[in-house]
Amino acid sequence: MNITTSNKTRLENVDFSNLLFGTVFSDHMFSCSFTNGKWQVPEILPYGPISFNPGLQVLHYGQSVFEGMKAFKNKNNQVLLFRKEENFKRLNKSAVRLSIPEIPEEIFMQGLNKLISLDKDWCKYGPEYSLYIRPFLFASSECIKASSSNEFKFMIITSPTSTYYNQDLNLVVEEKYTRAAKGGVGFAKAAGNYAASFYPTKMANLKGFQQVIWTDSSKHQFIEECGTMNIWFRVGDKLITPSISDTILSGITRDSIITLARDLKIEVQEKEISIIELLNAYNSGNLIEVFGTGTAVAVSPVKSITYRNNLMSFDSSIDSFALALKEKLQNIQRGEESDKYGWTSKVI
């Protein structure tokens, strides 16, 4: 790996008490090119502009996939990565679907480790801080034929984040637009999935909702995800979440919450969930809590769900499964609690 470090850190210019998610970037970036049919020698260089011609294939056909993962600082000033193997596997699963060559494990892991170790001071200690990590792959040939690219780039950039409060989450059930259809790319973290979600989300925002609940593409009767999170329902003392399919992103937080909940002796069921079933559970007083899970927020309680003329509201402030699971997850992520699952790994 070729490494060029920056002459001067930009750290002192950053106001860590006022970080806007995804807008501040650490000193370095990782980059590796796929040319002549193989991945070339990777490099780390100061974070900054990259140059390309307007014919860059990804700009025209969206052949691009990405990951979202996090690192945390423990009280001994060590940086802990959370379930990096899972993000690596999912990135390659997404890559295959988008006809992008898979990244060899050593390029991903060595690049990630070296990058984070160079920029470890960007990962602050404290319950509100983490370092968001964005690995991404994109088509980099200069060619505007509607075809798979011959050349690709794999990059990793990182961004310090903080969460001071959770925004109220009022959701609306989406019955017109679709996030993913059977046989499509919903299970992949394909850039285009997100581009296609912005307009329906904007329409929901205009009506006062923060996110939409995505439903199945054929009848809009079954619940899939909410915004960019997997969704969970507490019915009585049981947690239910939609089972994974090719229209649902298999969340790493989701998988972690299943394990943690079962360890806390909470029954978890993965199944198809219809909106009517939810409404019935709510009307009979059994739908107690709803929450979303994802890397960015960990666990996010849902305040309300609107379905046509029905408003279902929830109070997550007392005896909440969401908050108990969030605390447990974050304690493991930050090294506050022993990690019997082997989910965290130290950056060296």
Ligand X SMILES: Cc1ncc(COP(=O)(O)O)c(C=O)c1O
| Residue 282 or 343 with smaller CB distance to ligand X | 343
Tokens, residue 117:
């170790």
| DSSP code per residue over 13-44 | G--TTSPPTT----SEEEEEEEETTEE---EE
Query: How far apart are alpha carbons 99 and 38 in whole angstroms?
Result: 14
Give min distance, CB of 239 to ligand X, in A.
Answer: 16
| Residue 249 or 312 with smaller CB distance to ligand X | 249
Contact 101, 148 (CB under 8 A): no
- The piece of 41-49, 57-65, 247-255, 334-342 that touches ligand X (CB under 6 A) is 247-255
Does 135 engage in binding with ligand X (CB under 6 A)? no
Does 251 engage in binding with ligand X (CB under 6 A)? yes
| Residue 254 or 328 with smaller CB distance to ligand X | 254
Binding letters toward ligand X, positions 50-89, x by CB under 6 A: ------------------x---------------------
- CA-wise closest residue to 23 among 156, 136, 129, 159: 159
Does 242 engage in binding with ligand X (CB under 6 A)? no
| Residue 87 or 140 with smaller CB distance to ligand X | 87
Direct distance between the N- and C-terminal alpha carbons of the chain, in angstroms, rounded to an integer = 16
Does 201 engage in binding with ligand X (CB under 6 A)? no
| Residue 56 or 322 with smaller CB distance to ligand X | 322
**3-state DSSP assignment of residue 331:** helix
Alpha helices for the chain (secondary structure H): 57-61, 84-97, 105-118, 191-206, 252-263, 275-283, 321-333
Does 228 engage in binding with ligand X (CB under 6 A)? yes
Contact 294, 228 (CB under 8 A): yes
**Angle at which helices 84-97 and 252-263 cross, to 10°:** 140
Give min distance, CB of 323 to ligand X, in A.
Answer: 18
- The piece of 18-26, 147-155, 227-235, 258-266 that touches ligand X (CB under 6 A) is 227-235
| Residue 28 or 179 with smaller CB distance to ligand X | 179
Query: Which H or E element spans position 293?
Result: strand 287-294
| Residue 118 or 137 with smaller CB distance to ligand X | 137
Does 254 engage in binding with ligand X (CB under 6 A)? yes
| Residue 28 or 83 with smaller CB distance to ligand X | 83
> For ligand X, how many residues bind (rule: CB under 6 A)?
13
**3-state DSSP assignment of residue 291:** strand
Does 252 engage in binding with ligand X (CB under 6 A)? yes
Contact 111, 42 (CB under 8 A): yes
Give min distance, CB of 27 to ligand X, in A.
Answer: 25
Does 253 engage in binding with ligand X (CB under 6 A)? yes
- The piece of 48-56, 167-175, 244-252, 328-336 that touches ligand X (CB under 6 A) is 244-252
Q: Work out whether the CA dihedral 171, 173, 176, 179 comes out positive or negative.
A: positive
Give contact residues for ligand X (rule: CB under 6 A). Answer: 68, 225, 228-230, 249, 251-254, 293-295
